[in-house]
């Protein structure tokens, strides 16, 4: 079945976005992991995934009467998971925790093994309860199940693994387990480190320093996550407090950032870290079968009106979903701008509303319509305030602004094929990659974006989308916001709106360029090939 010449890979990730109703994901990291496993299956690569079977998954976020996001945690029963019959044990805080191993192959994905502690024999059955539900000891417990339990599951399943790929620092304790195995067989710390490194690769994500998880070494020791390593040895790997990303960089033979610009940022960010591996850049890609309307790809090569007609079909689909979910009826003839991001301040979801004198006439005349989506983290009041503000805007501009609650894969797919324009305006350089813009681009939805994440690699301004502003980033945050706002309004009024209403032919030409320039370059197939060429085999 698989290609014998390629190294076999175990891919570790906290979350997997495989299907909208399989609530094992929170956001972009999970979507990437889900697409990765589907691409692995399509390309017949010898890859398996390791993850956690979350009892409640991530929040299902509903909006109350007064616009406040409310978190709910329905419990789902998944009847498509196969029981492998394998059970492994991890000692957490000196108590045995049994992890049942499930297998998921349901969604056209490579084999995914999911660990589950929700068993009657466990005192600590809560560990796999909520994805990103907690931060401190609880998070370490979850990461021990993923990392340590994951390696033990691979052993118990009898799978032969050449490369352990940690997607984000969450899986780092798998590296400690690999070292423990070697030290138990007689290696000293240095040798176990060197040898484990040869079989580990690491993908780093967030370019925001505070977004990189760290723990006091005392906490790691108390939880038993050190796997026999001494404090001084832990300090050598991840510093004190122990930084999971730094540990990942020091415990892998090579690591990667998730876009070219992110590669530059990540190398700058971690330049003071000695003994780390090389950080290369492999830009993310998306899975066509999940995100791209093949009708658009086909129509792109035809010289008739079919590209526009197919797009309007997709736009009608989005308008329908909006109506079902909110009762609001959008106008199919008017420019529709989509925006969907996690609700965190640096993504600046509400930037476009900053100056009422500019935006009011555009919205009141329906020259533009805005559809938003995105969840705030359950424990983040700032994020919830952003959601509240977007709901407020929906009330302020009835019929012209929509907020779709509970962003999920279904909403994501509709937004990235049914919008006319995909707006993205984070502060820089904070967007690691961003895959929703890729989905949009391949569906002929024109990107209107800050030059962050993947967009500098694809942007051909005025030909396949637009940049907001330029490469220069004022260091002062308020200045950056003011500069970007001005640039956003300018390109919107000078380019986007006139082209849409007055030069449909040019618009359709841009859609064609957008699809042609991105469909292969930003596919998960290209990404997997690079993972093999530049990380696994290198
Ligand atoms: C594509 C997608 C993401 C990731 O998009 P970003 O551009 O990284 O924000 C997150 N959530 C859902 C539901 C998606 O479909």
**153 has a pLDDT exceeding 90:** yes
Residue 135 DSSP SS3: coil
From 435, 439, 449, 453, mutation site for ligand 1 pocket: most ligand atoms within 8 A of C-beta? 435
Q: How far apart (Å, rounded) are the C-alpha atoms in residues 514 and 533?
A: 27
Using an 8 Å Cβ cutoff, are 407 and 414 in contact? no
Instruction: Quote the domain boundaries for residue 41.
Output: 9-51+131-286+526-536
pLDDT at res. 144: 98
Average pLDDT over residues 41-60: 95
274: Cα separation from own chain's centroid? 28
The owner of tokens 């009024």 is 493
Using an 8 Å Cβ cutoff, are 92 and 223 in contact? yes
Residue 307 DSSP SS3: helix
341 lines ligand 1 (CB under 6 A): yes
* CA distances for 233 relative to 91, 193, 227, 255, angstroms: 20, 10, 11, 21
**3 has a pLDDT exceeding 70:** no
Q: 257 and 329 share a domain?
A: no
Which tokens belong to 185?
Answer: 């067989």
pLDDT at res. 151: 98
Task: Determine, yes or no, domain membership for 97.
Answer: no
Q: How many of the other CB atoms lie within 10 Å of CB of 121?
A: 11
Q: 382 and 412 share a domain?
A: yes
Q: 511 and 418 share a domain?
A: yes
Average pLDDT over residues 312-329: 97
Q: 216 and 328 share a domain?
A: no
Buried b (16+ CB within 10 A) or exposed e, 150-188: bbbbbebbeeebebbbbbbbbbbbbbbbbbbbbbeeebe
Average pLDDT of the residues of the chain: 96
Say which residues have a Cβ less than 8 Å from residue 166's Cβ, sequence separation at least 6.
12, 172, 174, 175, 200, 201, 202, 203, 248, 252
45 lines ligand 1 (CB under 6 A): no
What band does 1 get if pLDDT is binned at 50, 70 and 90? Answer: very low
Task: Determine, yes or no, domain membership for 177.
Answer: yes
pLDDT at res. 4: 56
pLDDT at res. 444: 98
Q: How far apart (Å, rounded) are the C-alpha atoms in residues 360 and 534?
A: 49
407 lines ligand 1 (CB under 6 A): yes
**Residue-wise pLDDT tens digits, 234-273:** 999 999 999 999 999 999 999 999 999 999 999 999 999 9
Task: Determine, yes or no, domain membership for 44.
Answer: yes
Average pLDDT over residues 425-454: 96
Q: 309 and 278 share a domain?
A: no
33 lines ligand 1 (CB under 6 A): no
Which tokens belong to 54?
Answer: 């979350």
Task: Determine, yes or no, domain membership for 313.
Answer: yes
Residue 382, burial from CB neighbour count under 10 angstroms (0-12, 13-18, 19+): exposed
Buried b (16+ CB within 10 A) or exposed e, 385-403: bbbbebbbbbeebeebbbb
Global pTM value: 0.96
150 lines ligand 1 (CB under 6 A): no
**Ligand 1 centre distance from Cα of residue 250 (Å):** 29
Q: CA Rg, the chain, in Å?
A: 23
pLDDT, greater one: 413 or 57:
413
What total number of domains does the chain contain? 2
Q: 306 and 233 share a domain?
A: no
pLDDT at res. 302: 94
**Ligand 1 centre distance from Cα of residue 536 (Å):** 26
Q: How far apart (Å, rounded) are the C-alpha atoms in residues 529 and 66?
A: 49
Task: Determine, yes or no, domain membership for 83.
Answer: no
What band does 184 get if pLDDT is binned at 50, 70 and 90? Answer: very high
Task: Determine, yes or no, domain membership for 114.
Answer: no
Average pLDDT over residues 53-68: 89
The owner of tokens 């299902």 is 60
For the CA of 20, the nearest atom of ligand 1 = 13
Q: 137 and 229 share a domain?
A: yes
Average pLDDT over residues 516-526: 98
Q: How far apart (Å, rounded) are the C-alpha atoms in residues 443 and 453?
A: 19
Q: How far apart (Å, rounded) are the C-alpha atoms in residues 362 and 492?
A: 10
Partners of 98 in beta bridges: 89
Q: 339 and 203 share a domain?
A: no
Q: Which of 215, 211, 214, 209 is nearest to 268 (CA)?
A: 209
Q: What percent of the chain has pLDDT over 90?
A: 90
435 lines ligand 1 (CB under 6 A): yes
For the CA of 408, the nearest atom of ligand 1 = 13
**Ligand 1 centre distance from Cα of residue 343 (Å):** 12
Residue 324, burial from CB neighbour count under 10 angstroms (0-12, 13-18, 19+): exposed
Angle at 68 between CA 53 and CA 335, to 5 degrees: 90
Task: Determine, yes or no, domain membership for 243.
Answer: yes
Say which residues have a Cβ less than 8 Å from residue 310's Cβ, sequence separation at least 6.
293, 295, 296, 299
Q: 357 and 503 share a domain?
A: yes
Task: Determine, yes or no, domain membership for 448.
Answer: yes
Q: 151 and 244 share a domain?
A: yes
Say which residues have a Cβ less than 8 Å from residue 521's Cβ, sequence separation at least 6.
457, 458
Average pLDDT over residues 54-68: 89
* Domain containing residue 491: CATH number: 3.40.50.2000
First to last CA, the chain: 23
Q: How far apart (Å, rounded) are the C-alpha atoms in residues 35 and 373?
A: 21
321 lines ligand 1 (CB under 6 A): no
From 15, 18, 27, 29, mutation site for ligand 1 pocket: most ligand atoms within 8 A of C-beta? 27
Tabulate helix, strand, coil % of the chain (nearest 5): 45, 20, 40
pLDDT at res. 321: 97
Q: 253 and 295 share a domain?
A: no
**Ligand 1 centre distance from Cα of residue 226 (Å):** 33
Q: 494 and 507 share a domain?
A: yes
**19 has a pLDDT exceeding 60:** yes
- The answer to which of 3-7, 29-33, 152-156 has the lowest mean pLDDT is 3-7
Residue 165 DSSP SS3: strand
Q: How many of the other CB atoms lie within 10 Å of CB of 498?
A: 12
Q: How many of the other CB atoms lie within 10 Å of CB of 142?
A: 27
């Amino acid at each position: 079945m698989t290609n014998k010449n390629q190294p076999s890979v175990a891919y570790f990730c906290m979350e997997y976005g495989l299907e909208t109703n399989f609530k094992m994901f929170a956001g972009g990291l999970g979507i990437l992991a889900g697409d990765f496993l589907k691409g692995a299956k399509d390309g017949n690569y010898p890859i398996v995934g390791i993850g956690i079977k979350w009892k409640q998954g991530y929040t299902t976020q509903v909006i109350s009467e007064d616009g406040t996001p409310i978190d709910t945690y329905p419990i789902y029963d998944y009847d498509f998971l196969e029981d492998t019959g394998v059970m492994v044990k991890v000692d957490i805080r000196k108590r045995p925790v049994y992890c049942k191993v499930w297998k998921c192959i349901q969604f056209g994905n490579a084999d995914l093994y999911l660990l589950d502690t929700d068993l009657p024999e466990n005192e600590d059955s809560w560990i796999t309860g909520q994805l990103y539900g907690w931060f401190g000891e609880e998070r370490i417990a979850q990461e021990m199940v993923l990392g340590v339990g994951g390696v033990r599951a691979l052993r118990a399943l009898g799978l032969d693994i050449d490369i352990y790929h940690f997607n984000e620092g969450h899986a780092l304790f798998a590296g400690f387990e690999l070292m423990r195995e070697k030290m138990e067989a007689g290696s000293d710390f240095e040798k176990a480190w060197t040898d484990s490194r040869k079989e580990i690769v690491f993908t780093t994500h967030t370019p925001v320093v505070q977004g990189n998880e760290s723990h006091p070494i005392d906490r790691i020791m108390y939880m038993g996550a050190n796997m026999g390593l001494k404090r001084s040895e832990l300090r050598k790997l991840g510093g004190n407090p122990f930084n999971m990303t730094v540990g990942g960089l020091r415990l892998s033979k090579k690591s990667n950032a998730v876009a070219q610009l992110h590669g530059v940022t990540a190398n700058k960010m971690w330049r003071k870290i000695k003994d780390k591996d090389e950080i290369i850049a492999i830009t993310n890609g998306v899975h066509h079968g999940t995100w791209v309307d093949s009708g658009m790809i086909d129509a792109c090569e035809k010289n008739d009106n079919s590209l526009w007609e197919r797009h309007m079909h997709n736009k009608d689909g989005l308008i329908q979903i909006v109506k079902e979910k909110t009762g609001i009826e959008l106008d199919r003839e008017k420019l529709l701008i989509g925006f969907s991001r996690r609700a965190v301040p640096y993504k600046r979801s509400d930037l476009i509303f900053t100056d009422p004198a500019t935006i009011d006439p555009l919205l009141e005349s329906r020259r533009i319509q805005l559809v938003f989506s995105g969840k705030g983290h359950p424990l983040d009041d700032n994020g919830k305030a952003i959601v509240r503000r977007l709901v407020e805007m929906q009330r302020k501009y009835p019929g012209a602004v929509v907020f779709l609650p509970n962003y999920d894969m279904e909403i994501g797919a509709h937004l990235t094929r049914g919008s006319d324009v995909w707006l993205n305006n984070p502060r820089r350089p904070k967007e690691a990659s961003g895959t929703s813009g890729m989905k949009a681009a391949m569906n002929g939805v024109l990107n209107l974006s800050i030059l962050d994440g993947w967009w500098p690699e694809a942007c051909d301004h005025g030909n396949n989308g637009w940049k907001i502003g330029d490469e220069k980033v004022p260091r002062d945050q308020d200045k950056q916001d003011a500069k970007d706002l001005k640039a956003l309004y300018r390109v919107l009024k000078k380019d986007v709106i006139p082209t849409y209403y007055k030069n449909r032919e040019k618009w359709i030409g841009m859609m064609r360029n957008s699809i042609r320039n991105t469909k292969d370059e930003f596919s998960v197939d290209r990404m997997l090939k690079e993972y093999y060429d530049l990380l696994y085999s290198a």
